[in-house]
Amino acid sequence: MKKAQKTMIFILCGALCAVLLACASGGGSSGGGAAAGGVVEGTWEWVPTTEFSDGNDSTCFVEIAEEVIDGETVQTVSIHGTVTATAQYGESQSKIIPDEATLELLRTCTAISFKVLGDGRNYILRMPTKAVTDWGFHMNRFNTTQGEVEEIFLPIRSFRQPDWAAGQRFYQNQVELIEFTTRNNAEGGLGDWAIKIWDFKLHF
């Protein structure tokens, strides 16, 4: 009887160790990261910039809605505005602000992707860091096609500073948010613009 009890204890201990090991290696919801090859949507707040220090009076508006696209209910971000020439580098802009958990993922992800219904203009995602002090933040451009849905995939390693910037290393662990923008030079152009974005995701 005692031998059977000892055998049962060993089995239970072994099962407990297996569970603990699985939890340690599996990185549950509070594990502070995502597994390689994983994809996370995260939680974001889109906040249009309404005031600029250089007199820029370009506008940006954001509307969040749930829509059915290809038979699936998704949250869409309809973002539109007008780029003016009031300032030399007038731009429409919205901040994309992650919640605390998503911020930690943003600082370690390897790429950003999303789907966009375009208008034929060019846009930028930009990641400010405190290491860059000349406004030459690391950025990635993407083009859109009028009336067409496209999937945009932006590897983090492809974010670069503008040619005129001082040339600073990209410290991803300093990122606090993403800036979406279109400008009145070759990056976008003057006038009205409007696109729709959904499936905004981080890749690992």
142-165 tens-digit pLDDT = 999 999 999 999 999 999 999 999
Which domains are assigned to the chain?
37-203 (2.60.120)
User: Does pLDDT of 4 surpass 50?
Assistant: no
Give me the sign of the Cα torsion angle 17, 20, 24, 25.
positive
Residue 155, both tokens = 């590897």
Per-residue pLDDT, averaged over 91-112, amounts to: 98
Predicted pLDDT of residue 23: 37
Top-confidence residue, 15 or 85? 85
The model's pLDDT over 55-65, given as tens digits with 9 standing for 90+, comes to 899 999 999 99
Torsion of CA 96, 166, 92, 191, to 10 degrees: -150
Residue 5: pLDDT band by 50, 70, 90 thresholds?
very low
Which of these ranges, 98-102, 158-162, 186-190, has the smallest mean pLDDT?
186-190
- Between 122 and 53, name the one with better pLDDT: 122
| pLDDT greater than 60 at residue 6 | no
Residue 175 corresponds to which tokens in the numbers above?
A: 């990122």
- The predicted structure's pLDDT at residue 53: 85
Record the pTM: 0.81
| pLDDT beyond 50 at 132 | yes
Instruction: Determine the average pLDDT of the residues in 76-105.
Output: 95
pLDDT bracket for residue 181 (50, 70, 90): very high
Which position has the higher pLDDT, 109 or 15? 109
Residue 82: pLDDT over 90: yes
CA 26, CA 20: separation in Å to the nearest integer? 10
Q: What is the mean pLDDT of residues 6-28?
A: 39
CB 157 within 8 A of CB 41: no
Backbone phi, psi, residue 110, to 5°: -105, -10
